[in-house]
Structure 1
């Protein structure tokens, strides 16, 4: 992103940019920053295409049009799929595109073997918007609080992030809620986080697994009922339960092999501040139990798909089975 930040600061822009990757917040943030820096609120010299249903010929015709009483014309193309299919015509066009026109592509996925990808990287710049590491998320969230005159301890910040997950859009939304909640107070406290931060579905599943480990069947079923009340589909809940047990099994096996926290985080694709929670929860089960639970979850999913059980009842029965073992 250093290149984009530098271009924005200098006001000198490449013919083409590509923002891609799974972190939607970063894609949108840099898209908006580039648009503001290149054309501001000028709508006459700005064109936006979204999706796959538009003509490349039309795009190139607009690109040929000189900007109207302005220095440059900007065309943003989002979710086009151009970087996952043959786009040779557009790739070749970039070489002869007017100097006054700039193209900004925004995509979730790309194929780096794609001709258009190679041409954009040659003539301009492609920036991958990755999921951020735990350290990056901590710094970003703390910086957002500081800009609003708020302070937070590291332990409270970790509590906040365990509730929000690693999606930057959700973190941003929850930070705004938190800042509004504490009002004039300067320091964010753990009680504030507990009171106002929305616990993500994955954390509710974590609590359900904790109840299963403790043999608290009623609590596990009550948590399931809460999720249904929130309109969460039973099959999604089942998928997350199975994924959670599979993750705990991985963590337990790696821990038994003497693997350290950082390597466990990397191998299991967990944020480092979550590894401790996973290790603690995994210790409540034997390896055989976890293998059994993963198998039961898969069998339950299969029974639903075959029409032998209704999805809602299937998950409820599964939770009862878990609690009896």
Structure 2
């Protein structure tokens, strides 16, 4: 398994492999690095003919194989990209397991004229790709690239370049504060940059602007907490709550975010049953489409009764936290344990 620096070195030396598997949390960074492989391999004049993109959520093995087997047009090589290839996850359904097994066999003797690139996104930051046995097996025939989050100067440089591309200058102090405050995901970063630019039109960006416009970073942790509740993993749920407390988050704020999460899941579940699609629901809950997609998946893990009871538990706990006779941390732990049993 290599990192992005290892990939960059190989590309600069012109040493491209026959197949790649990317895994990480940030889809934008993954796609930017896949584009480097495409640009190095495919002549821009014939890109439409020698670059094929397939949806990994619904692709069949035959579709992948046919795309790879077709000869390139006026080029030595072609590139086939399978995005969001969830059949590469450690645990999948029977259909995904079948596609993965066929892929492993196919990669033992792939066509020399094609570079096959696949990627999937980690569910959360706690997922460790090194423990995925499917990736370990694929390393025998493919180059597995672990895409970590950008940090430090690399992060500052990348974020600053986005501001510049959009015609806005941000000071070094404000840039660093923005990078430290925003969620480290470039889909989110770009959206928040757009909001900041619109809000500060005609003037410089200040620290106060950043504080006012950015969403709370703890929302991502609460998503993970609720997801562990859906999986009946009490210890991990409480661990996340303790992480939030150690970061200095107020218990009432944590409870409010959990209650908001359950409320959104209830609304989304209703919307799905009414036939609403991802874009419609994203507008209703005022969240980006890619976040709404995750919430839709999470909502399916709960019944209406479970979500209703979880919301009621949040309200009952709020009353107790506002009283002086209860240990607030203990009450939060009791609430989390109770949600696991509804």
Which TM-score bucket, shorter chain as reference?
A: 0.5 to 0.7
1:44 aligned counterpart, secondary structure: helix
Q: Is the 8 A contact 1:63 1:98 kept in 2?
A: yes
CA distance in 2, matches of 1:157, 1:137: 10
Instruction: Output the CA distance in 2 between the equivalents of 1:184 and 1:308.
Output: 45
Deviation at 1:18, TM superposition (A): 1.2
Q: Which runs of 5+ in 1 are unaligned?
A: 207-231, 252-274, 283-289
In structure 2, distance between residues paired with 1:58 and 1:153: 48
Q: Deviations over 1:260-310 (max 9, x none)?
A: xxxxxxxxxxxxxxx5xx2xx57xxxxxxx7xx99xx9xxx9xx9987975
Pick from 77, 96, 103 the counterpart of residue 90 of structure 1: 103
Could you say which structure has the larger radius of gyration?
Answer: 1
- Tell me the CA shift for residue 20 of structure 1: 0.4
Return the offset for 1:162: 5.7
Structure-2 residue corresponding to 1:20: 23
> What's the counterpart of residue 223 of structure 1?
none
Give the TM-score normalised by structure 2.
0.56
Q: State whether residues 149 and 184 of structure 2, in contact with CA within 8 Å, keep that contact through their aligned partners in structure 1.
A: yes
Distance 1:116 1:204 in 2: 26
Per the alignment, do residues 180 and 47 of structure 1 end up closer, same or farther by CA in structure 2, a change over 3 Å counting?
Answer: same
User: 1:88, 1:116 within 8 Å by CA — same for their partners in 2?
Assistant: no
- Partner of residue 165 from structure 1, selected from 168, 183, 186: 183
2:75 to 70, 81, 94: 70
Gaps of 5+ in 2: 91-96, 123-128, 231-236, 263-302, 325-342
**Per-residue deviation, 1:104:** 0.2
- Matched with 2:62 is 57
1:42 Cα deviation from its structure 2 partner = 2.0
Superposed, 1:159-198 pairs within 5 Å as 159-161=177-179, 163-183=181-201, 185=203, 187-195=204-212, 197-198=213-214
CA distance 1:305–1:247, change in 2 (3 Å)? farther
Matched, 1:317 2:336: no
* Aligned counterpart, 2:115: 102
- The answer to whether structure 1 residue 152 and structure 2 residue 165 are counterparts is no
Cα distance in 1, alignment partners of residues 67 and 178 from structure 2: 46
Indicate if the aligned counterparts of 1:75 and 1:104 stay in contact, CA closer than 8 A.
yes
Q: TM-score scaled to structure 1, two decimals?
A: 0.58
| Distance in 1 between residues matched to 2:15 and 2:119, nearest whole Å | 20
Distance 1:198 1:149 in 2: 17
> SS of the counterpart of 1:175?
helix
Instruction: Report the Cα distance in structure 2 between the residues aligned to 1:64 and 1:248, rounded to whole angstroms.
Output: 50
SS of the aligned residue for 1:99 comes to coil
Candidates 107, 121, 125, aligned match of 2:143:
125
Deviation of 1:128 (Å) = 0.9
User: Please, which of 235, 246, 251 is the counterpart of residue 242 of structure 2?
Assistant: 246
CA shift, 1:7, in A, is: 4.6
Asked whether the 8 Å contact 1:64–1:98 carries over to 2, the reply is yes
